[in-house]
Structure 1
Amino acid sequence: MALIGVFDSGVGGLSVLDEALRQLPEHRYIYLADSLHAPYGEKSSEWIAARSLELCHYLVAQGCDAIVIACNTATAQAIAQIRSALPHIPIVGVEPGIKPAAMQSANGVVGVLATEATLKSDKFNALLATLPHHCQFIKQAGAGLVPLIEAGQANSEATLELLAEHLIPIQEAGADTLVLGCTHYPFLRKAIRKLLGDAINLIDTSEAVVRQLKRSLLLQDTSIAADDVAGSVQFISSKDSEVLLKMAHELMQSDLSTHRTKSITVSTFH
């Protein structure tokens, strides 16, 4: 079975790991959370690129057969550089699902909730330029949401209040579709439904990302045949691995008790 590295600035990428464990439960995983430096969304593009490459080199050194950049900000700012530096390993990124959102929207008004760094990135705006001009995209930076989710407050009143503020322009524009443009934001589904109801269509690309991972493993001729034993998950944090493991149990739908798990804290990555 393959060893798959999944990294994010913090706990957001757990939403992608959750989907990976659903589709590909037999593999071994390393989940790397750079919680010491979260959130990435407000840092410079140069810092994000350098740090993301450093973390990928670390995952390669651990023996990973493939890497998922489970962070929209890191994907937007660093994936080209990472693929150039590591050409012999599949690198799968995530990006806001604005293309499927444009296809699914009935009224052509789509809200995009993402980090400032993602919304300003060349990669995001190049993708936006390829989409139909009749579709209106309401871009909204979710400043302050990631730290609240990292603090285990995804469903707190403080998060609900801040989220409500961020969603006002999207509501006022009459959007019928909302893109969750940060891997942290799927953990706000309950809060979003409380504020916007069930009518709005939420777009999360985790399922598509894992399908791409599966294709990459097949192209690498890495065995993906299922067996009767679930794989392992190693949780690594640059800040506190015990907190990371606790949040994984709280946020993920996967039953981690069926997987061999361990957690370690590593403050530097070389």
Structure 2
Amino acid sequence: MDSGVGGLTVVKQALKQLPRETVYFIGDQARLPYGPRPSAQVREFSWQMASFLLKKDIKMLVIACNTATAAALPDLRAKLDIPVIGVISPGSRAALKASPSKRIGVIATEGTIKSNAYRDAIMTKDPDATVFSEACPKFVPLVESNEYRSTVAKRVVAESLKPFKTKNIDTLVLGCTHYPLLRPLIQNVIGEEVTLIDSGAETVNGVSFMLDYLDIANTSATKKYPDEYYTTGSADQFATIAKDWLDLPDFTATHIDLGGE
């Protein structure tokens, strides 16, 4: 589940790494962005999405949204009797593994940065690390409006990443699952020598491990059920981005309502 289409970056990895597992995905496009919202509201919306997915008899829940992970992961783990996996811990581990200098940048939504979730996760694992965090609130609207390859996107990315010019980082965490769609632009601005960490991709590595560890992986030759995609926004708009990003020409999404503000 995600606030919008960004979670498809996690789905893309799941389809690649776990082709026999069925994916049920919901993007709450009608109420994005989550970044500026109060944590209590993000928790409420996250619970609504989780409740919808639970009706599908899911065996594991992946919060494919950094803002929702920061705000709602402990709450959902306490309420549910299935494994609940977030994107922040896997992204933090991967960043430390990739960074020789331990000078790590984090870009994310306002909500994720304000929560200090990445900084705390990285510093807990390695107190010697130095973390530079920057909110990039304009990135999500670029992706959701399908403008992530535009000249406007290039300008916005260049402007947003200026604070890192003097930080001498060697690793940058893409701390929002929307951001990998902007990866070529981010890499171009930040420099080829900086390693980009896709927190969503790292999360699927954890999902794969947990499925095996808990012995709940699908061991049959094929998927048991077809994948299903839902959005609280425009199904057509969602499908336009999904077809391109997932390279699925026959992709379809279904509109649902979860509630108002």
Q: In the alignment, residue 68 of structure 2 is paired with which amino acid?
A: A
Which of 210, 227, 231 is equivalent to 1:233?
A: 227
Distance 1:192 1:122, change over 3 A: closer
Distance 1:134 1:229 in 2: 44
Local SS of the residue matching 2:243: helix
**Cα offset for 1:125?**
4.3
Unmatched tracts of structure 2, length 5 or more: none
Match of 2:254 in 1: 264
Residue number among 51, 68, 88 corresponding to 1:74 in the alignment: 68
Q: Which amino acid aligns with 1:175?
A: I
Gaps (5+ residues) in structure 1?
Answer: 1-6
CA distance in 2, matches of 1:100, 1:220: 23
AA partner of residue 101 (structure 1): A
Cα deviations by residue, 1:85-138 (Å, 9 ceiling, x for unpaired): 11x212111116233323322333221111111122264343143143443211
The question of 1:201 aligning with 2:195 is answered yes
Q: Deviations over 1:9-51 (max 9, x none)?
A: 0011000000000011122211101000111111000000011
- Separation (CA, whole Å) in 2 of partners of 1:35 and 1:145: 15
The share of aligned pairs that are identical, in percent, is 32
Equivalence for 1:246 = 240
Equivalent in 83, 89, 94 of residue 90 of structure 1: 83
Paired residue type of 1:150 = E
CA distance, structure 1, for counterparts of residue 228 and residue 251 of structure 2 = 6
User: How much does 1:224 deviate?
Assistant: 2.1
- For residues 216 and 93 of structure 2, the distance between their equivalents in structure 1, rounded to whole angstroms, comes to 30
Structure 2 counterpart of 1:144? 138
Partner of residue 11, structure 2: 17
Partner residue in 2 for 1:50: 44
Deviations 1:232-251 (A, max 9, x none): 22110101112212211112
> Segments of 4+ in structure 1 off by > 4 A?
228-231
- Of 51, 54, 65 in structure 1, the residue corresponding to residue 59 of structure 2 is 65
2:206 aligns with: 212
Provide, for residues 47-69 of structure 1, a one-character-per-residue CA deviation record: whole Å limited to 9, x for no partner: 00011011101100122222111
Amino acid corresponding to residue 263 of structure 1 in structure 2: A
Residues 52/137 of structure 1: CA separation in 2 closer, same or farther (3 Å cut): same
| Comparing 204-213 and 226-235, the one that deviates more | 226-235
1-structure distance, mates of 2:171, 2:21: 34
SS in structure 2 at match of 1:22: helix
Query: In 2, distance between residues paired with 1:169 and 1:179?
Result: 15
3-state SS of paired residue (1:13) = helix
Q: What is the TM-score normalised by the length of structure 2? A: 0.90
RMSD, aligned CA: 2.2
Q: Give the letter for the 1:174 counterpart.
A: N
Q: Which amino acid counterpart does residue 88 of structure 2 have in structure 1?
A: E
Normalised by the length of structure 1, the TM-score is 0.88
